[in-house]
Amino acid sequence: MLPEFRNEPLTDFSQPENRAAIEAALETVKGELGREYPIVIGGERITGLKTFESINPSHKSQFLGRFQKGQPSHVEQAVEAALKAFETWKRAPIEQRAGLLLKAAELLRQRKHEFSAVMIYEVGKTWVEADADTAEAIDFLEFYAREAYRYAGEQPITKIESEDNDLVYLPLGVGAVIPPWNFPLAIMAGMTTAAVVAGNTVVLKPASDSPWIAYRFFALLEEAGMPAGVVNFVSGGGAEVGDPLVTHPKTRFIAFTGSKEVGLHINEVAAKTPKGQLWIKRVIAEMGGKDAIIVDKETKNLDDAAAAVVASAFGFQGQKCSACSRLIVDAAIYDEFVPMVVAKTKALRIGSAESGDAQIGPVVNEGSMKRIREYIEKGKTEGRLVAGGEVRSDEGFFVEPTVIADVDPDATIAQEEIFGPVLAVMKAKDFDDALRIANGTQYGLTGAVFSDNPEKLRRAEEEFFVGNLYINRKCTGALVGVHPFGGFNMSGTNSKAGGRDYLLFFLQGKAIARKVKPEPRSVEQAQAF
């Protein structure tokens, strides 16, 4: 019997021994820079293809590693390898499948600072953000291992005397896992291992901005005892690898996290049934948000609310689907509260992610930096710039945390997902108006409400249409098992990652009914009858 699930503790970097540990890990990982990494299909390492590079967004001239550009032919090979492995893996006992995750969790726990260091280099996560990402990955492994035991056990169904009945859950088959770069360890590991522990096999296409951390995790699974072909690692572009994976007639499901545009494309393409496909593909999609925090006039501790807004808006440079990109403030406290947010924003320290003192690192790449800058310029015409607004691109891809006040709820920066450190501030006439503004987008992922009025909070719980609602706290930082994560509308399929429903996306139910023969009567019973 496994002990009850507990979330992995975060690292306190104010402690000298913890600072020394992450600094040592950064040096260790730095020694690996410049290597070339293969595609891995059925356990076979494949190199010699055209390659692309992973670079450090804090230091754009620093080359991290070289990765193969997979082609449709590699997708074909990988799906076939996964199909072959599925025939054995689907019959593997739950102790083996869940044991793989638990072993991987323990290995990851032992090397957590090294995995965090890779993310610090590769996607510009600060120490705190990288540590939280690694902890969440450990949580997913531990939580899904326990969930797999639950689904493999006896399921509660209604019993009748004339039959012996069971409900069993079976794996689907081969799946495509297409993770994002912003939680390049946690989400990638969670989607991959949820599929695997349920008995499926996987072709993993890492995000092009974060292939290094994905390969490192793949190698960890191998070390933990994963059989060849259960997970196949195929790096490359969306057109060459992603689309062929989605359209392949032998893939049963696609687990995707990323932009709305790509998610909708995957959903549309996957809905088609090419010749030879015998099933309707499942799409598990988490596609982003335009998340709002409401600050009501009946909020006693405005300083705490302001701190939560800044943390939600600018943690990991606003590059979270859960980030607060809209702040909705009651008109009665608007002139008091907005300057508090501005002051806390201007106090944030910007710097290289490797620096333990940095609170704000770079955005992920040059294209993202340019796109965010365009939104800021647009925002200057749609509101009043009160903090930030500048881009620092000499060394890396840095965008100052930016606050734009007096924004109309229908403005571009209030409606479109920017995925960067830009906060649009809006004034609400009252709480009704605040809820109207909050619900006035195509998304519905996360949201938060600050108020000390119980009736308003009750209304928010009922009327604020998001998958993850937080009361008097920030709208980021979902914990596995505590806050099952996934949203409504254009935020995706409400997958509830890290929740007790999630493995069902990777399973199919089979009801088995066995006719029970009546007990034979004794001679005495027959004579009595």
Residue-wise pLDDT for 230-274, tens only, equals 999 999 999 999 999 999 999 999 999 999 999 999 999 999 999
Task: Tell me the DSSP string of 186-242.
Answer: HHHHHHHHHHHHTT-EEEE---TT-HHHHHHHHHHHHHTTPPTTSEEE----IIIII
Residue of 315, 326, 285, 288 lying closest to 445 (CA atoms): 288
Query: How distant, in Å, are the alpha carbons of 145, 148, 192 from that of 6?
Result: 13, 16, 21
Q: In Å, how far from its chain's centre is CA 455?
A: 33
Token pair belonging to 169: 């859950």
Is 286 known to be catalytic?
Answer: yes
Report d(CA 35, CA 26) in Å as an integer.
16
Helix (H), strand (E) counts: the chain:
16, 23
pLDDT at site 523 = 57
Residue of 344, 333, 330, 418 lying closest to 374 (CA atoms): 418
pLDDT at site 1 = 82
Q: Which of 129, 321, 354, 417 is catalytic?
A: 321
Residue with tokens 């989607």: 191
Q: Which of 147, 286, 354, 400 is catalytic?
A: 286
Residue % of the chain over a pLDDT of 70: 98
pLDDT at site 517 = 86
Domains of the chain as residue ranges with CATH: 20-29+40-45+62-287+492-512 (3.40.605.10), 291-471 (3.40.309.10)
- Name 445's Cβ contacts closer than 8 Å, sequence gap at least 6: 288, 289, 291, 321, 322, 466, 467, 468, 486, 487, 488, 491, 492
Is 80 known to be catalytic?
Answer: no
Rg (CA), the chain: 25
pLDDT at site 421 = 98
- Name 448's Cβ contacts closer than 8 Å, sequence gap at least 6: 292, 293, 294, 308, 312, 324, 469, 470, 471, 472, 473, 474, 475
pTM of structure? 0.96
Q: First and final CA of the chain: distance in angstroms?
A: 50
Strands 231-233 and 201-204: parallel
Residue % of the chain over a pLDDT of 90: 97
Can you list the residues of the chain whose pLDDT is less than 70? 520-529
Residue 331's identity, in one-letter code, is: A
Token pair belonging to 265: 């494309």
For residue 476, the surrounding DSSP H or E stretch is none
